[in-house]
Amino acid sequence: MIAAVTDLNGLQTGAHRTWLAPDGSGKATVEAPRRAMGDLLGHGVRFGTAGEVLAAGEGIETVLSPRQVLPEMPMLAALSAAHLAAILFPPALRRLYVIRDRDPAGDGARDSLVARAADHGIEVVSLTPLEGDFNDDLRLHGLDALRAALKDQLHPDDLRRFLVG
């Protein structure tokens, strides 16, 4: 899987590569199945164009999982907890959803984003998975459970605007 890393203007600044197992069961059994290169800090793999709302998380799979039930919500995969904490905010952003991983690095990234966003007048809503991350939730509990979990965590305006099903 190859993904473009882009800046706020949509210009490519890097690339992220993930080697997958031939049978589709997960990552390939190679020494380093994930590799990124280029200017990554502050940027990410974008799904949609952010306006007033953006959801941001660490990994591509983690971000693509909630996108299954929020297909119109702009999202960004920062590629690591450290990079998530350093994302650049689009000028029109008013609400940032942090698609956090349930681990100390995810807690740190969320806390850093909350502090940085407050300085810019941006509301932060933390989206917390049941398991380690939202990809685990999707794989272990299914689409309906993921939809129900996210429904309880979204701002009411965004629930009507973005949630499918």
What pLDDT, on the 0 to 100 scale, is given for residue 120? 96
Render pLDDT for 57-67 as a digit per residue (tens, 0 to 9): 999 999 999 99
What pLDDT, on the 0 to 100 scale, is given for residue 24? 81
Render pLDDT for 100-110 as a digit per residue (tens, 0 to 9): 999 999 899 99
Mean pLDDT of all residues in 31-35 = 88
Distances 64 to 46, 91, 119 between C-alpha atoms, Å: 10, 24, 28
CA 73 to chain centre: 11
If one counts every other C-beta atom within 10 angstroms of the C-beta of residue 22, the result is 6
Mean pLDDT of all residues in 15-38 = 90
pLDDT band at 98 (very low <50, low <70, confident <90, very high): very high
Alpha carbons 41 and 83: distance in angstroms, whole number? 6
Alpha carbons 9 and 102: distance in angstroms, whole number? 31
pLDDT band at 96 (very low <50, low <70, confident <90, very high): very high
Alpha carbons 31 and 22: distance in angstroms, whole number? 16
Distances 55 to 84, 122, 153 between C-alpha atoms, Å: 11, 12, 12
pLDDT band at 164 (very low <50, low <70, confident <90, very high): confident
User: Going from the N-terminus, what domains does the chain have, and what CATH number goes with each?
Assistant: 41-162 (3.40.1360.10)
Residue 165 has pLDDT above 80, yes or no: no
